Amino acid sequence: MILYNALFSKKTIIIGIVLLVAFLLLPYFLTRFYIYLLALIFAICLLATSLNMVLGFGGMYQFHHAVFYGFGAYAFALFVTKSGLPIWIGYVIAPFCSALLGLVLGLITVRLTQLYFGMLQLSLGSLVWAITYRWYSFTGGDDGIHGIPIPDLIGSSTGAYYFNLIVTAACLLLMYIIVNSPFGRTFQGIRDNPERCEAVGINVQRQQLVGQIIAAFFAGIAGTLFVTIEGSVFPDLMFWTFSMETLIMCLLGGWFFFMGPALGAVIIITVRTFVGIYTEYWTLILGLVLMLLIFFLPEGVLSLFFKKDVPSEKKEG
Amino acid sequence: MEFATNISLASLFQQVLVGLSRTTILFIVASGLSLVLGVLRIPNVAHGSLYMVGAFMTYTFASLFGQSALGFWLALTVAPLGVALISFLVERSLFCHLYEREHMMLLLFTFAFSLVIGDMVKLIWGSDYRSLTAPLFLQGSFSISGFPFPRYNLFLLMMGPLVAAGLWFLTNKTKIGKIARAAAVDREMVGAIGINVSGVFAAVFVIGCYLAGLGGALVAPTQNITQGMDHAIIIEAFLIVIIGGLGNIWGALLGALIFGLTDSIGILLLPQFAIVFPYMAVVIVLIFRPKGLLKSTW
Amino acid sequence: MLQVKALQKSFDGFLAVNDTTLNVEKGDVVAVIGPNGAGKTTLFHLITGQLAPTSGSILFKEENIAGMLPYLVCRKGISRSYQVVNIFNRLTVFENVQVAVLSYRKKTFNIFQPAKTMAVSETRKILGSVGLLDKSEMTSGSLSHGDQKVLEIAIALGNRPELLILDEPTAGMSPEETAVTLRLMERLSGELGLTILFCEHDMGMVFSIASRIMVMKQGKSIIQGSPDEVRNNQQVREAYLGGADQCST
- In sequence order, the β-bridge partners of residue A59 are none
Give the CA diameter of chain A: 56
Put simply, the answer to whether A7 touches C142 (Cβ < 8 Å) is: no
Which residue in C75, C114, C139 is closest to A309 by CB distance? C139
Q: What is the mean pLDDT of residues A275-288?
A: 87
Quote the pLDDT of residue A130: 86
DSSP assignment string, chain B:
-GGGGGS-HHHHHHHHHHHHHHHHHHHHHHHHHHHHHHHH----TTHHHHHHHHHHHHHHHHHHTTT-HHHHHHHHHHHHHHHHHHHHHHHHHTGGG-TTS-HHHHHHHHHHHHHHHHHHHHHHH-SS-B--PPPGGGSSEEEETTEEEEHHHHHHHHHHHHHHHHHHHHHHHSHHHHHHHHHHH-HHHHHHTT--HHHHHHHHHHHHHHHHHHHHHHHGGGS-B-TTHHHHHHHHHHHHHHHH-TT-HHHHHHHHHHHHHHHHHHHHH-GGGTTHHHHHHHHHHHHH-TT-SSPP--
Of A42-51, A281-290, C29-38, where does mean pLDDT reach its minimum? Answer: C29-38
Q: Residue B12: which domain range?
A: 7-127+141-288
B132: in domain: no
Look at the alpha carbons of C182, C186, C189, C195 in this order and tell me if their dihedral is positive or negative. positive
Residue-level pLDDT at A7? 76
Rounded to whole angstroms, how far apart are CA atoms B219 and B228? Answer: 14
pLDDT score of B138: 75
B239–A123: do the CB atoms touch at under 8 Å?
A: yes
Look at A181 and C112 and tell me if their CB atoms are within 8 Å.
yes
Q: Do chains B and C touch (3 or more CB pairs under 8 A)?
A: no
More reliable by pLDDT, B246 or A43: A43
On chain A, the residues whose CB falls within 8 A of the CB of B283 are 108, 123-124, 127
- Cross-chain CB nearest to A311 (options C80, C111, C142): C142
Query: Which pLDDT belongs to residue A9?
Result: 80
Return the CATH number of the domain spanning residue range C1-70+162-173+189-249.
3.40.50.300
The yes-or-no verdict on residue A228 having pLDDT over 70 is: yes
Chains sharing 3 or more CB pairs under 8 A with chain B: A
- CA-CA distance, A285 to A303, in Å (whole number)? 22
Sign of CA dihedral C202, C207, C211, C215: positive
State the average pLDDT over residues A294-316: 69
Mutate to test the interface with B, among A61, A241, A310 (most CBs of B within 10 A): A241
Residues of A with CB under 8 A from a CB of C: 3-4, 6-7, 177-178, 180-186, 188-189, 191-193, 195-204, 207, 210, 214, 256, 308-311, 314
Q: What is the mean pLDDT of residues C200-223?
A: 85
B187 touches chain A (CB under 8 A): no
C103 to A200: CB separation less than 8 angstroms, yes or no:
yes
pLDDT score recorded for residue A307 = 65
Residue C102, pLDDT > 50, answer yes
- Rounded Cα distance between A125 and A109, Å, is 11
Interface list for chain A against chain B, based on CB atoms closer than 8 Å = 55, 61, 63, 108, 111-112, 114-116, 118-120, 122-124, 126-127, 130-131, 133-136, 239-241, 244, 247-248, 251, 280-281, 283-284, 286-288, 290-291, 294-295, 298, 313, 315-316
Q: Is position B133 within any domain?
A: no
E-strand spans in chain C? 2-11, 14-24, 29-33, 55-60, 63-64, 78-81, 163-167, 195-199, 212-217, 220-225
Q: Lay out the sheet containing C55-60: strands in order across.
A: C14-24, C2-11, C55-60, C63-64
User: Which CATH number is A2-305 given?
Assistant: 1.10.3470
Domain parsing of chain C, residue ranges: 1-70+162-173+189-249, 78-160
- State how far residue A167 is from chain B, nearest Cα, in angstroms: 30
Nearest of A206, A219, A187 to residue A44 by alpha carbon: A219
Instruction: Report in angstroms the alpha-carbon separations of C73 from A201, C30, C49.
Output: 8, 19, 7
The pLDDT value recorded for residue A233 is 93
pLDDT at C239: 65
Chain A residues with CB-CB distance to B272 below 8 A:
134, 136
If you measure CA to CA, which chain A residue comes closest to B116? Answer: A284
Predicted confidence (pLDDT) per residue in C176-185, tens digit: 888 888 888 8
pLDDT at B298: 54
The pLDDT mean for chain A works out to 88
In this prediction, residues A179-196 reach a mean pLDDT of 92
The answer, for B70 touching chain A at a CB cutoff of 8 Å, is no
Rounded to whole angstroms, how far apart are CA atoms A118 and A41?
A: 26
Mean pLDDT of A58-68: 93
Q: How many CB pairs under 8 A join A and B?
A: 130
Rounded to the nearest angstrom, the minimum Cα separation between A114 and chain B is: 8
**Cβ-defined contact of C155 to A310 (cutoff 8 Å):** no
- Looking at every residue in chain C, the average pLDDT score rounds to 85
A42 has a pLDDT exceeding 90 = yes
Give the residue from B94, B97, B111, B122 with the most A CB atoms within 10 Å of its CB, the best one to mutate. Answer: B111
Chains with 3 or more CB pairs under 8 A to chain A: B, C
A315 has a pLDDT exceeding 50: no
- Please state, in angstroms and as integers, the Cα–Cα distance from residue C141 to each residue in A310, C85, C89, C176, following that order: 7, 10, 4, 22
Report how far apart, in Å, the C-alpha atoms of A62 and of each of A211, A305, A309, B283, C7 are. 11, 26, 26, 18, 40
User: Which of C86, C89, C99, C152 best probes binding to A when mutated, by most A CB atoms within 10 angstroms?
Assistant: C99
Decide if B1 is inside a domain. Answer: no
Q: What distance, in Å, lies between the first and last C-alpha atoms of chain A?
A: 43
Which residues of chain B register pLDDT less than 70?
Answer: 1-8, 144-146, 297-298
Q: What is the CATH number of the domain that holds B193?
A: 1.10.3470
Q: Could you tell me whether strands C29-33 and C212-217 are parallel, antiparallel, or unpaired per DSSP bridges?
A: parallel
Helices (H), ranges, chain A: 10-25, 32-55, 66-83, 87-109, 114-134, 136-139, 157-179, 182-192, 194-199, 204-230, 240-253, 260-278, 282-296, 302-305
Q: How far apart are CA A288 and CA B150, in angstroms?
A: 42
Per CATH, C1-70+162-173+189-249 and C78-160 having the same topology is answered: yes
pLDDT at C247 over 50: no
From the candidates A115, A131, A252, which should be mutated to test the interface with B, based on the most B CB atoms within 10 A?
A115
Fold type of domain C78-160: Rossmann fold (3.40.50)
Residue of A nearest to B103 (CA): A115
Confirm if B206 and B44 have CB atoms less than 8 A apart: no
Task: Give how many domains chain B has, as a whole number.
Answer: 1
Shortest Cα distance from B117 to chain A (angstroms)?
8
